[in-house]
């Protein structure tokens, strides 16, 4: 394994453009890389699309709806558990 390689790396790369008529779309990806001496882990996800039409350039994000909803629901669960504990601790301390 390369010694100069970084342990943590977040890269955003552009792929090959797709052109239809005067619309040109360049997909962009974001990759998180974690390396260790005898292994590694890579997570690559779609980031955005660069849409070019004539002289106009537009950035369209590629949203992962499943991930957003999943994280939101798990965060709500965690928040509810924390709030419940806070409520119970307050209740116990007020009874003493």
Partner 1 sequence: MSEKIKEFTTATVTNEKTIELIEKLFTVTQPETIYGKPVEVGDRVVFTASEVSVGMGVGFGFGGVFEAEDDSEDGPDNAEMGGGGGGGGGSQGRPVAVISVSPDGVDVEPVVDATKIALAFFTMLGSIFFMGAKMKKESKK
| SS3 (DSSP) at 68 | helix
Toward partner 1, which CB reaches closer, 4 or 88?
A: 88
**Are 61 and 45 in contact, with CB atoms under 8 Å apart?**
no
For partner 1, the closer of residues 4 and 41 by Cβ is 41
Residues 6+ apart with CB under 8 A from 13: 28, 29, 31
Question: Torsions phi, psi of 9, nearest 5?
Answer: -145, 135
Closer of 4 and 66 to partner 1 (Cβ): 66
Q: Please report how close the Cβ of residue 72 comes to partner 1 at its closest, in angstroms.
A: 8
Smallest distance from the beta carbon of 55 to partner 1, in angstroms?
A: 16
User: Considering only CA atoms, which of 59, 7, 17 is closest in space to residue 37?
Assistant: 7
Give the interface with partner 1 as residue ranges (CB under 8 A): 1-2, 11, 13-16, 18, 20-23, 25, 27-29, 31, 33, 35-36, 38-46, 49, 51, 53, 60, 62-67, 69-70, 73-74, 76-77, 80-81, 84, 87-88, 91-92, 95
Task: For residue 23, list its beta bridge partners.
Answer: 20, 53
């Amino acid at each position: 394994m390369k010694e100069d390689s970084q342990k943590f790396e977040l890269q955003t790369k552009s792929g090959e453009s797709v052109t239809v008529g005067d619309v040109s779309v360049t997909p962009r990806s974001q990759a998180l890389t974690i390396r260790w001496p005898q292994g590694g882990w890579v997570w690559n996800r779609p980031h955005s699309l660069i849409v070019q039409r004539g002289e106009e350039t537009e950035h369209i994000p590629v949203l992962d709806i499943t991930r957003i909803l999943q994280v939101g629901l798990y965060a709500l669960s965690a928040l509810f558990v924390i709030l419940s504990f806070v409520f119970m601790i307050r209740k116990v301390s007020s009874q003493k």
